[in-house]
Chain A
Amino acid sequence: MSEAVVSTRIRLARNLREYPFPIRLSADKAQEIVAKVGEALTDCGIKFHKIDSDNVSDTILVSMIERHLVSPDFVNGERGRAVYLSDDNTVSIMVNEEDHIRLQVIKDGFALDEAYELADKVDNILSKKLNFAFSDRLGYLTQCPTNLGTGMRASVMLHLPALDMSTAAYRIGANLSKLGLTMRGLYGESTKPSGAFFQLSNQVTLGISEKAAIENLKNITTQLIAQEMRARDGILGDIEVEDKISRALGILKTAKLMDHSEAMSLLSLVRLGVTSKKLETLSADSIDKLIVEIQPASIMSRCGEDMSPRDRDIKRAEIIRNKFN
């Protein structure tokens, strides 16, 4: 499974009954909510640290998007936002993003039940101290009606290089919406798929329980992986595809300049080679970690914020060479 599933995420949207939603929230009230969430998390058994969006540079914030710890909306929005991160970066609680609380759990590989269990646990901790907006009919009340009900978005990050190459895969995407699911690019809403990495998540949150939505997603993911594996069998005997994969590794090992999109396509090919046992080099896990490291803001947060795109391309090529050689 881990050949095609990079990571799993569960996100729960919650709002406090006694405050207007973020679109109508004053800066003072926003700070009150940040403090209340902090109080609810003290002595809960999991250690969290707080990051205020106002006190951190944009580069750091963007590098947190690249690691999926916060959403792009969180960084682009108003002042008065904060995120509580667990020490192992598995749990992140964004405050005053689109909803008062966006609780997220991220796990490596295909781990929907495990991720939900942890999200559920943290949600229970919060709900002991906080009064969540909830209605019997509409479930958890959210700023955007698309999240009403469970407020849960469960998603899996998939690497589907063979399906991406084959034109037969066209219809899969179009059919997913009929199953209450949606497929997007690597960084969530309205981003272009990059390096054949896709995010598959449930679309419908009202009228379907957490359990049923997760089962549905599991089911479709399993089918999609099976299709990907069949597509791989179809293309991997092809000398032209194998040549592409080997050349990709050659370039990664030697190049001196590497822009982001080239790196993503080459790493995607090498990941395909490694998971299909056609190449012996870094493990898929190490490649997944490398993919995060070579994102623009992640490079800058490590190597200095005043880097030009060209400096970054040089640095990116260097990071990649060091990993592969």
Chain B
Amino acid sequence: MLCQHCNKNEATTHVKTMINGEYTEYWLCPECAHELGYDNMFPDFHTDFGGLLSSFFSNALPARSGAARCKSCGSTLNDIKHTGKVGCADCYDTFFSELMPTIRSVHGNTEHKGKRPGAIEYTVNDDGAGNKSENTDKLSSLKAELKKAIEDENFERAAQLRDEIKGLEA
């Protein structure tokens, strides 16, 4: 089969694409596949984050906090949208409701978990004792374990777990 792009060389690459729900497939020779970027194993990695971010911002919900300018650094919401960069720490308070949809779509989360300044004891091998959100994780896993212990009629373990859960909830 001949390459459907140059119609000269033997096709070796079979390309299937789905763009806006429309399915197409065609055959390319190595040269054309290279030229069209179909020989790259990771085609979608070179995401330009600035660009991505400003497009997220433009999809963000309409302004609710009403602040026109950050009092600390003078940034406007437009500045932030335009550059994809926040002006200062206070901007996160000033434009909280405008920034939140973007933050949620970038991270899928809006609550920090992990290290806090000053919490020197926290290391990668630490389970994060004393850390609220880590505790919540631990609590739910203990509760699941408790349920299983009761189902298995392992009451001794269940009692231990119950006490541990009480301790964490206190």
CA distance A191 to B49 in the complex (A): 13
Which bracket fits the contact residues of A?
Answer: 35 or more
| CB of A165, distance to nearest CB on chain B (Å) | 9
**A132 touching B117, Cβ below 8 Å:** yes
- The closest CB in chain A to the CB of B128 belongs to A209
Known A-B contacts A145-B53, A190-B48, A209-B114; A164 and B108 likewise in contact (beta carbons under 8 Å): no
Is B73 an interface position by the 8 A CB rule? yes
**For residue B117, which residues in chain A have a CB less than 8 angstroms away from its CB?**
127, 132, 134, 140
| CB of A308, distance to nearest CB on chain B (Å) | 28
Is A239 an interface position by the 8 A CB rule? no
| CB of B22, distance to nearest CB on chain A (Å) | 18
Q: Specify which of B85, B107, B109, B134 lies most central, judged by the most chain A CB atoms within 10 Å of its CB.
A: B107
Contact partner of A120 (CB less than 8 A), chosen from B42, B99, B108, B123, is B123
Known A-B contacts A145-B103, A150-B115, A208-B114; A113 and B124 likewise in contact (beta carbons under 8 Å): yes
| CB of B36, distance to nearest CB on chain A (Å) | 15
Interface residues of B in 80-130 (CB under 8 A from A): 83-89, 92, 99, 102-103, 106-118, 120, 122-126, 128
Chain B proximity mask over A183-214: 1 for CB below 8 Å, otherwise 0:
11100011111000010000011111111101
**B92 touching A135, Cβ below 8 Å:** yes
Is A254 an interface position by the 8 A CB rule? no
Known A-B contacts A24-B73, A137-B111, A137-B112; A206 and B103 likewise in contact (beta carbons under 8 Å): yes
**For residue B89, which residues in chain A have a CB less than 8 angstroms away from its CB?**
15, 17, 21, 133, 135, 141
Is A241 an interface position by the 8 A CB rule? no
**A144 touching B103, Cβ below 8 Å:** no
**For residue A212, which residues in chain B have a CB less than 8 angstroms away from its CB?**
113-114
- The closest CB in chain B to the CB of A205 belongs to B107
**For residue B53, which residues in chain A have a CB less than 8 angstroms away from its CB?**
144-146
**For residue A152, which residues in chain B have a CB less than 8 angstroms away from its CB?**
114
**For residue B108, which residues in chain A have a CB less than 8 angstroms away from its CB?**
180, 204, 207
Is A169 an interface position by the 8 A CB rule? yes
Known A-B contacts A145-B106, A207-B108, A209-B114; A173 and B84 likewise in contact (beta carbons under 8 Å): no
Q: Is the interface of B mostly helix, strand, loop or mixed?
A: loop
**For residue B62, which residues in chain A have a CB less than 8 angstroms away from its CB?**
none
Total A-B contacts with CB atoms under 8 angstroms apart: 163
CA distance A140 to B118 in the complex (A): 12
**For residue A207, which residues in chain B have a CB less than 8 angstroms away from its CB?**
107-113
Is B140 an interface position by the 8 A CB rule? no
CA distance A172 to B44 in the complex (A): 11
Q: Is the interface of A mostly helix, strand, loop or mixed?
A: mixed
Is B8 an interface position by the 8 A CB rule? no
**For residue A127, which residues in chain B have a CB less than 8 angstroms away from its CB?**
117-118
Known A-B contacts A24-B74, A190-B48; A169 and B87 likewise in contact (beta carbons under 8 Å): no
Is A52 an interface position by the 8 A CB rule? no
**B112 touching A144, Cβ below 8 Å:** no
Contact partner of A184 (CB less than 8 A), chosen from B45, B72, B124, B128, is B45
| CB of B94, distance to nearest CB on chain A (Å) | 12
- The closest CB in chain A to the CB of B75 belongs to A24
Known A-B contacts A120-B124, A146-B49; A173 and B87 likewise in contact (beta carbons under 8 Å): no
Is A148 an interface position by the 8 A CB rule? yes
**B124 touching A208, Cβ below 8 Å:** no
Is B64 an interface position by the 8 A CB rule? no
Is B166 an interface position by the 8 A CB rule? no
Q: Specify which of A146, A184, A198 lies most central, judged by the most chain B CB atoms within 10 Å of its CB.
A: A146
Is B170 an interface position by the 8 A CB rule? no
Interface residues of A in 210-243 (CB under 8 A from B): 210-212, 214
Give 6 A-B pairs besides A20-B73, A206-B112 with Cβ atoms closer than 8 angstroms.
A132-B117, A135-B112, A136-B112, A138-B103, A173-B43, A193-B42
Can you report 8 residue pairs joining A to B where beta carbons are below 8 Å apart?
Answer: A23-B83, A24-B74, A134-B117, A149-B107, A204-B106, A204-B107, A204-B109, A210-B124
A residues with a Cβ closer than 8 A to B are 15, 17, 19-21, 23-24, 98, 113, 116-117, 120, 123-124, 127, 132-146, 148-150, 152, 163-164, 167, 169-170, 172-174, 177, 180, 182-185, 189-193, 198, 204-212, 214
B residues with a Cβ closer than 8 A to A are 13, 40-49, 53, 72-75, 83-89, 92, 99, 102-103, 106-118, 120, 122-126, 128, 134
Identify the 5 closest CB pairs spanning chains A and B, nearest first. Answer: A207-B109, A139-B112, A173-B42, A209-B114, A133-B89
